[in-house]
Amino acid sequence: MNSATANASSSQRLSAQNLQALLDSVDAFLFDCDGVIWKGDVLIDGVAQTLDMLRSKEKKLAFITNNSTKSRRQNAEKFCSLGISVTEDEIFTSSFAAAMFLKVNNFPQDKKVYVIGGEGILEELQLAGFAGLGGPEDGKKTAQLKANCLFEHDKNVGAVVVGIDPHINYYKLQYGTLCIRENPGCLFIATNRDAVGHMTNLQEWPGAGCMVAAICGSTEKEPILVGKPSTFMMDFLLQKFDISCSRMCMVGDRLDTDILFGQNAGCKTLLVLSGVTNLPTLQDPSNKIQPDYYTSKVSDILEFMGP
């Protein structure tokens, strides 16, 4: 009990009293999307008005999601369809991060990238000038298991990118495994390692952590992680905003990705309880990740401002 109390006391509940101090101390708010901005395809109440208010106070906004299914462009379309105006360059997806990782590491343009995951990864790779293969079109393929059967794979694949894939199958696992085990120097990149994701409103479903672990299991290798809690994406935010990390606040619903990302980068952190984390989990003695602030949902920021 003492330990739980001590833990809880290290995070402040956001209130009308401490909100102004938070607003004064930061110039940019970084938002996770799922469980923060929306749940599945439904906007969370009051988000639009809260973002408008923050923009009116000249706060910079960015949206940082581990969901690799969509590209930046596809995410901007989703924001638009929900009535929120966000530009592509305010969006940082783990699919974009994977493509940028290859770019900043001078991945050869004549090498290919095998994708276990969604269309968003392939689109970001293409925008960055890389040739992707695999992805959704391999979802219908099957591996033939017969004596003397040889599974052919492209020897020119120099990286395998793994993200969440609801169409995972043995063909894709074998293709990715062969590239990593047999192509010399082939990179193994994980968009993220979330154990589960809110793919529907009602339940948690296996996330990218499931597919990434499968490839770890067959290759006996650990991946390069580019999504949260890795701070790889922060370099691109810093380029865009020219604001120091200490004057940014990361707002998210997940302790081990969002809040840890914010802490790893030296940002202030605000946990919202509108997604996967509830108050008992935050205050459980076993939880070692404490945000600076917590509140029930993003629109509390607006409510605490008063009339």
Q: What are phi and psi of 145, to 5 degrees?
A: -110, 95
Site for a second copy in 191-230 (CB under 8 A): 193, 195-196, 199-207, 209-220
**32 catalytic, yes or no?**
yes
Residue with Cβ nearer a second copy (98 or 102):
98
Residue with Cβ nearer a second copy (28 or 168):
168
Interaction between residue 278 and a second copy (CB under 8 A): no
To a second copy, the closest distance from the beta carbon of 151 in angstroms equals: 6
CB 99 within 8 Å of CB 124: yes
CB 158 within 8 Å of CB 187: yes
Among 27, 32, 235, 292, the one annotated catalytic: 32
Binding segment (CB under 8 A) for a second copy, from list 36-44, 55-63, 89-97, 272-280: 36-44
What are the b/e assignments for 205-229, b being 16+ CB within 10 Å? ebbbbbbbbbbbeebeeebbbbbbb
**138 catalytic, yes or no?**
no
Q: What are phi and psi of 303, to 5 degrees?
A: -60, -40
Binding segment (CB under 8 A) for a second copy, from list 86-94, 128-136, 169-177, 257-265: 169-177
Contacts 24+ apart (CB under 8 A), 129-137: 129/103, 130/99, 130/102, 132/161, 133/157, 134/172, 134/175, 134/176, 136/167
32 has binding-site annotation? yes
Which secondary-structure segment (H or E) carries 40?
none
Query: Measured over all CA atoms, what is the biggest interatomic distance in the chain, rounded to whole angstroms?
Result: 75
Q: Which of 84, 166, 236, 247 binds a second copy (CB under 8 A)?
A: 166
If binding means CB under 8 A, how many residues of this protein chain bind a second copy?
A: 46
Binding segment (CB under 8 A) for a second copy, from list 7-15, 54-62, 70-78, 190-198: 190-198
To a second copy, the closest distance from the beta carbon of 17 in angstroms equals: 37
Among 24, 27, 34, 45, the one annotated catalytic: 34
96 token code pair: 């974009």
Q: Are strands 42-43 and 38-39 parallel, antiparallel or unpaired?
A: antiparallel
Residue with Cβ nearer a second copy (218 or 264):
218
3-class state of residue 27 by DSSP: coil
Q: Which of 25, 181, 279, 281 binds a second copy (CB under 8 A)?
A: 181
Site for a second copy in 107-146 (CB under 8 A): 143, 145-146
Q: Which of 2, 150, 185, 307 binds a second copy (CB under 8 A)?
A: 150
Residues 297 and 229: their CA atoms lie apart, in Å, by 21
As to burial, measured by CB atoms within 10 angstroms (0-12 exposed, 13-18 middle, 19+ buried), residue 174 is: middle
Which residues have C-beta within 8 Å of that of residue 124, sequence separation ≥ 6? Answer: 71, 72, 93, 95, 96, 98, 99
Annotated binding-site residue numbers: 32, 34, 228, 253
List of residues contacting a second copy (CB under 8 A): 40-42, 143, 145-151, 165-170, 173-174, 177-178, 181, 193, 195-196, 199-207, 209-220
Annotated binding-site residue numbers for Mg(2+): 32, 34, 253
Residues with a known catalytic role: 32, 34
